[in-house]
Chains A and B, each alone.
Chain A
Amino acid sequence: MKKNTKVTTSGNTRMFFRMVYGALFRRRSRALMAVLASAVGAATLFCLAAVCIAVPAQMNQEMRAYGANLVVAPIERGDHARRDIDNAMVEHTTEMVTAKSSARHACYRYENVRINNASYLMAGIDPSQVHALNQHWNVTGHWPSPGKILVGRDLADNLGVSIGSTVEARFLREDSQEPKVAGQWQKDQIIGAANYQIAGIVDTGGAEDKIVYATLADMEHVTHLKRGTDVIEYSSSAVGPELAAIADSINEMTSMGVRAQTVTKISSADTRIITMLQTLFWMISLVVLVLTLVGVGATITSMVSQRRSEIGLRKALGASAASLASEFFVESGAYGLLGGLVGTGLGYAFAYWLCSSVFGRALIFNWWLGISSVLLSAIIAVIGSIHPVVRASRIDPAVVLREE
C-alpha cells in the first residue's frame, strides 16, 4: 500500500468537510437540538432587533403624521409691508431641510375673505401636501378640491353650515393689504367673489377650527392675485439637535429672508419616547443574547460530553488538540449558521406579525440585520462551544481502552 503521491491536501480538506457533514446530517436528532437552540436564540434576537429598529422608525413616522416640527416663515420688517416666500425660495428651503434627513412639507398662503360679511382667514393649500402632513386632523367629509372648501368646526358652527352647504366668499381691497383677525367687520371694494360648496369640516381643537381651507387655485381665483406662500411647514425625520441644526442653518442665511423655528414640544416628546423604547429593547436584547449563549453552550456541552469516547478515539488515532478543536468549532459554527437561518426567518415572521398587528404596516426585511443575525448565531455557537471543546481536547485517549 504505497502512498499515492498525486494525492494532495485537498483530499484532507474534503475529508474534513465529510466529517463535519457526517456529524451534521447523520446525527440528525442531536444536530437538531443544537440547531433548535441556535434557532430559538436567533429568532428572539432578530425579532427584538427588528422591532428595536422598526419601532422608533415607525414612531418617528407616526409622530411626523401629527404635524410639522419645523416652520419657516418670511422675516417681517418694521414697515408692515407684506412679505411672502416665492416658489424658488420654497424649493431652496426645502432642499436645505431635506439635505440631511427626509421631510414632508406643506405651503400655506393666507388671505382674509368675507363670508356672510364676516372676515375669516382662508388658507390656500395643496390638499395632498397638507393631508400628508396632518394625518391626525379629524376631517368629516372630504378635503378641498376645485370649487369645494374645507372649513373649521368653529367656523362651521358660527356660520351654521354643514357638509354640502354652499357659501359665498368675497375678497375686498382692504383685505388685500394685510390679513386681519377673523370676524372683523369691513366695508370695501370687492375684488373677487365665488361660491364654494363645503366638502368637509375639520376638527383639531386648535386654530385650524377657525380657518377656511381652499385649493390654491381657488384662492388665486377669488383674490385675482398670484403671490408666494406665507408659511412652509416641515415634518422632518430629524429630531433634537439635528433638527435645531437645520433651523440654525436656515436662520444663518439671512439673505434668504426667511426664519425657521422648531416646534419643540412634539420633537422632544418624540425623541424621549424613542430613546426610552430603544433603551428598553436593547436591554432585553442583551439579556436574550446572554441567555442564548448559555442555552447554546449547554446544548453543545451536552453533545460534546456524549462524544467523549469518539474524541478519545480520534486522539488515539493521532488527532491533535488543535485539529479536534477546529472540527468541533466548524461543526458548532455550522449548527449556528443553520439555526441562524431558520431563526432569522422565524424572527422576521414574528416581527412582521408584530408590526402588522401594532402599527398596521408591513415590516421590510432588513438584510443587514438578517445577515448579522445569522453570523451572530454562528459566532455565539462557536463561543458557546469553546469551553466544552477545550475540555474535550484534554480528554485522555486512554479512556477508550480503559474498559476491560
Chain B
Amino acid sequence: MTEGNDERHTVQPQVQLLLDLEHVSKIYGDVHALDDVSLQVNEGQWLAVVGSSGSGKTTLMNILGCMDTPSQGSVRLSGKALEDMSQSQLTDIRKDVIGLVFQKFYLVPHLTALENVMVAQYYHSVVDQDQAMRALERVGLVDRSHHLPSELSGGEQQRVCIARALINEPKLILADEPTGNLDEANEKLVLELFQQLHEQGTTLIVVTHDALVASCAQREIMLSHGQLVGEHWNDDHAHQAYLAAGGRSALADVSGGIPVDLLTEDLPVGFTGSVEEGVPRSISQQ
C-alpha cells in the first residue's frame, strides 16, 4: 500500500492535536472493554482502528463520539476535557464537532434521503434544503433524494449516511465499519468520498475489519481485548510530520517509551495474520 502514500501529502507542518486520550479505560464489572489506552490524533489525520470482535473498537468509538464516558483516564477533544462535561455539553460537542457513519446506516426509515440529511442540520442549527441537496449531490444521490431508505440500495444508504455526517462540516468523522455491508463497487465509492474529506482536512477515524479500508488510512492502530497492541503508519510523510509536531506514538507507553511502530513497518495491513494471541508480532518480539 505504498502506492497511494505519495498522494497523501496533506499533513500540515503545524500539527494540532484534535484528540488526546490518556490512560483511558472502560470497565463493565470485571470486563475491561478498554484497558489503559493512550492515543493522540492530530487534526486532518485519517486513522484506522482495527481489531477483532470484542476488542473494544466500538467502545473506543463511543467514547470518542461523546456517547460514552471512560471509567478511568482522560479524553481531550480540541483541548477540552470530555470527562468534565455534562450530558448537555457532550450533546453539543457531538452535534457541532462530530459526524457519525454507521455500518448499519441507521437512516430514519420514514424520512427521505434528503430529509435524513436535513435531520442532522435540524439538530445542529438551521435546516437548509439547498445545502442538504448539495451534500447529496456530493455523494452522487441527487436523483435519489426523495426516495425512502427502503427504496435505496445498501451503498446508496451508506452514501446518504455520509452526506448526513458531513452536512454540518464536522472536524471529526467517526465511521464504524462504513463498508461492512457494501459490495466492492460501493466500498470504492465510499473510500473515494473519505479520501475527498481527508484532502479537505477533515479528521477521519474509521473502525474496520477490512484490510483495504485500513490501508487507505494514514495510520492504523490495533486493539485487542481492550488494549492498544499495535500501530502502523501507511503514510511516512504524515508520520514524520506528526512526530515533528510532537505527536506521540500510540504504543509509547505500552513499549516503555520506544516508538514500536518504527519497528513494525513491515507489518501486514490490518495486522491480520501477524497477531499472536491478540498481540502483534512486533510486540511479541519485544
Distance A105 CA – B54 CA, assembled complex (angstroms): 90
Q: Are A4 and B131 in contact (CB under 8 A)?
A: yes
Q: B44 CB to closest chain A CB, in angstroms?
A: 18
Q: Which of A1, A313, A397 contacts B131 (CB 8 A)?
A: A1
Main secondary structure of the interface of A (DSSP, over half): helix
Digitize B131-145: 1 where CB-to-A-CB distance is under 8 Å, 0 elsewhere. Answer: 100110000000000
A287 smallest CB distance to B (angstroms): 35
Determine if A310 is an interface residue (Cβ-Cβ < 8 Å).
Answer: yes
Please tell me which one of the listed residues B61, B68, B130 contacts residue A4 in the complex, with CB atoms under 8 A apart.
B130
The answer to whether the Cβ of B126 comes within 8 Å of any Cβ in the partner chain is: yes
Q: Give complex CA distance A323, B122 in Å.
A: 10
B213 to chain A, nearest CB (A): 16
Q: Which residues of B contact A9 (CB under 8 A)?
A: 126
Which of B16-24, B104-112, B240-248 interfaces with chain A?
Answer: B104-112
Q: Answer yes or no: B100 CB below 8 A from chain A CBs.
A: yes
In the bound complex, how far is the Cα of B166 from the Cα of A1, in angstroms? 10
Q: Which of A308-332 contact B (CB under 8 A)?
A: 309-310, 313-320, 323
Q: Is the CB of A1 within 8 A of B61?
A: no
A62 CB, min distance to chain B CBs, angstroms: 53
The CA of A318 and the CA of B131, in the complex, are separated in Å by: 19
Chain B residues within 8 Å of A323, by CB: 123
Q: Separation in Å of the A10 CB from the closest CB of chain B?
A: 9
Report the minimal beta-carbon distance from B185 to chain A, rounded to whole angstroms.
25
How far apart are the CA atoms of A397 and B61 in the complex, in Å? 12
Once A315-B91, A318-B91 are accepted as A-B contacts, the answer to whether A22 and B111 lie under 8 Å apart by CB is yes
A19-46: contact bitstring with B at CB < 8 Å (1 yes, 0 no)? 1001100110000000000000000000
Interface assignment of A402: CB less than 8 Å from any CB of chain B:
yes
Contact between A401 and B123, CB atoms less than 8 A apart: no
Q: Is B127 an interface residue (CB 8 A)?
A: yes
Task: Check if A1 sits within 8 Å of B135, measured CB to CB.
Answer: yes
Interface membership of B58, Cβ < 8 A = yes
In the complex, the chain B residue whose C-beta lies closest to that of A399 is B67
Q: Return chain B residues, CB-CB under 8 Å to A317.
A: 94-95, 100, 119-120, 123-124, 164
Q: List 21 interface pairs A-B (beta carbons < 8 Å), by A numbering.
A: A1-B131, A9-B126, A11-B126, A15-B115, A15-B119, A19-B108, A19-B115, A19-B119, A23-B110, A310-B106, A313-B106, A317-B123, A318-B124, A319-B91, A320-B91, A396-B67, A401-B61, A401-B102, A403-B58, A403-B103, A404-B58
Residues on A close to B: CB < 8 A?
1, 3-4, 7-9, 11-12, 14-16, 18-19, 22-23, 26-27, 309-310, 313-320, 323, 396-398, 400-404
